Amino acid sequence: MKSAIKIKRNKAALRVHRTRIRIKGTATCPRLSVKRSLKHIYAQLIDDVASRTLISASDAQIEKKGKPLEVAQEVGKTLASRAKAAGIERAVFDRGQYRYHGRVAALAQGAREAGLQI
């Protein structure tokens, strides 16, 4: 009998596969990938053709502290401003295994507010 942790990880991997099979990032329109843990949130712009990370941002890199939704929104704004400086205007949002809700949605909203087209 499989343990509950293995079943949970398998289901998460299936969700990731289901979302990423439709999404491909390029140099002009990279994939905005989100990683969320209980305490932190991370975001990357990834070029899947060249298999490299173009830009990254996390809550450890921003000075603003506060509620988790506000911090996630600031991470999105930081990522979008770095993308603008690198000449990236558009991105494809990859929520991974997470629902588009809460901190994940706040990060996307912050990136949109800073001018990144998702």
Confidence class of residue 1 from pLDDT cuts 50, 70 and 90? Answer: low
Q: Give the three-state DSSP class for 90.
A: strand
Asked whether 43 and 61 are in contact (CB, 8 A), the reply is: no
pTM value? 0.88
103-107: average pLDDT: 97
What are the tens digits of pLDDT across the range 66-96? Answer: 999 999 999 999 999 999 999 999 999 999 8
Rounded to whole angstroms, how far apart are CA atoms 9 and 33?
A: 19
The per-residue pLDDT for 21 is 85
Mean pLDDT of the chain: 92
Alpha carbon dihedral 48, 36, 107, 117, in 10-degree steps, equals 10
What is the DSSP annotation of 1-70? Answer: ---HHHHHHHHHHHHHHHHHTS----SSS-EEEEEE-SS-EEEEEEETTTTEEEEEEEGGG----S-HHH
Domain 4-113 fold? Nucleotidyltransferase; domain 5 (3.30.420)
Per cent of the chain over pLDDT 90 is: 77
Rounded to whole angstroms, how far apart are CA atoms 55 and 2?
A: 38
From the list 105, 60, 107, 113, the residue with the least C-alpha distance to 84 is: 113
